[in-house]
Amino acid sequence: MSDSTSTDDGVAVPLGAAWVHRVEEQHFSVPLAFITEDEDFIARRIDPLPEAFLDRPSMTFQFSNHSWLIRVDGLTVLVDPCNGSGRRRSVPYFNDLDLPWLERLEVIGVSPDAIDVVFCTHLHNDHCGWNTMNVDGRWVPTFPQASYVFVDAEYRRWEPTADPHPNSFNESVFDECVRPVVEAGLAKLVVPPHSVSPSLLIEPAPGHTVGHSILRLESEGNRAYFTGDVFHHPAQITRPELHLPGCDDLDQAIATRRSLTRRIHDERALLFPAHFGPPHYGRVDEDGDDLVFITGG
């Protein structure tokens, strides 16, 4: 894998009365073989996609870590605040980062104090890192005016007194990125479906982790889904059985992916995943017997 960063916020999408922005932290290259080596499928369904989803010479795709920022119903809502800086992680691509993610948030006119709601689709390190930051040797909430919404099942899955964690790379994340929020009185545990506002609904999407959930946006007849790690690559829309390692329950993750793909298609909704390379979002369409990813709005 090769590592890179970008200052391009990439997306500012109007959706009814809502606005959606992307805030990038980092991106790096991942071997496509981690997902599939089926050359016929690659030629038919991945080669036609934008370059970010397959660089043919290296047979890699771009893995993007970014957050989504939603402005709707008088709220500023942050979805999946990435890795954070200055943290020890066993995965080299996430270890001891020093990236200007907060500065990129400021570029789109949002200060940490302006965030009203933080929602983590799940509590892997690359989805909750900026929940906190290190101040004088202590982890403190980055967004002091926000309500941090955690799904109860996900919170309990990672709480250190729970059963041993199968994802060793996620070790210490609870103590660094969740516990300080709870101790500051900013955490809200919810059971989905849970309404964040008239336009925003948290819904269960388990499999990748036990409590993995998604955020549904509906505004003026327009719909969108912020899907966290349900999808890592557009190939999974056509073949939901394809996956990257690390799921709590792979069979459940596949079932969730299959049903959500169909739902996004049938509702003509926009799809905003957590890790797609540029153009980062899109729709689901039909091509013959297949459902396929279509980039952009």
Residue 197, classified by CB atoms within 10 Å of its CB into exposed (0-12), middle (13-18) or buried (19+), is middle
Q: Are 263 and 275 in contact (CB under 8 A)?
A: no
The answer on pLDDT for 248 being more than 90 is yes
DSSP secondary structure string for all residues of 141-194: ES-TT-EEEEEHHHHHHHSTTSSPPS-GGGTTHIIIIIHHHHHTT-EEEE-SSE
Rg (CA), the chain: 18
* Mean pLDDT computed over 90-119: 93
- The position carrying tokens 């390379």 is 277
pLDDT in tens, 36-71: 999 999 999 999 999 999 999 999 999 999 999 999
pLDDT of 7 > 50? The answer is no
**Residue 165's pLDDT band (cuts 50, 70, 90):** low
Average pLDDT of the residues in 5-22: 75
β-strand pairing of 75-79 with 60-72: antiparallel
Q: With 0.85 as the threshold, say if the pTM is over it.
A: yes
Among the residue ranges 4-13, 46-55, 138-147, 270-279, the one predicted with the least confidence is 4-13
Peptide bond connecting 279 to the previous residue in cis, omega within 30 degrees of 0 = yes
pLDDT, tens digit, 9 for 90 and up, residues 202-221? 999 999 999 999 999 999 99
Average pLDDT over residues 163-191: 89
d(CA 99, CA 103): 9
pLDDT of residue 94: 87
In percent, the amount of the chain with pLDDT more than 90 equals: 86
pLDDT at 243: 96
Q: How confident is the model at residue 1 (pLDDT cuts 50, 70, 90)?
A: very low
Q: What integer is the mean pLDDT of 22-29? A: 96
CA 297, CA 288: separation in Å to the nearest integer?
A: 21
Mean pLDDT, to the nearest integer, of 68-86? Answer: 97
Which residue bears the tokens 């302006």? 114
- The whole-number average pLDDT for the span 182-188 is 98
Distance CA 144, CA 113 (A): 6
Average pLDDT over residues 85-103: 88
d(CA 116, CA 189): 16
Range of lowest pLDDT (18-32, 44-58, 77-91): 77-91
What residue type is 295 in one-letter code?
Answer: T
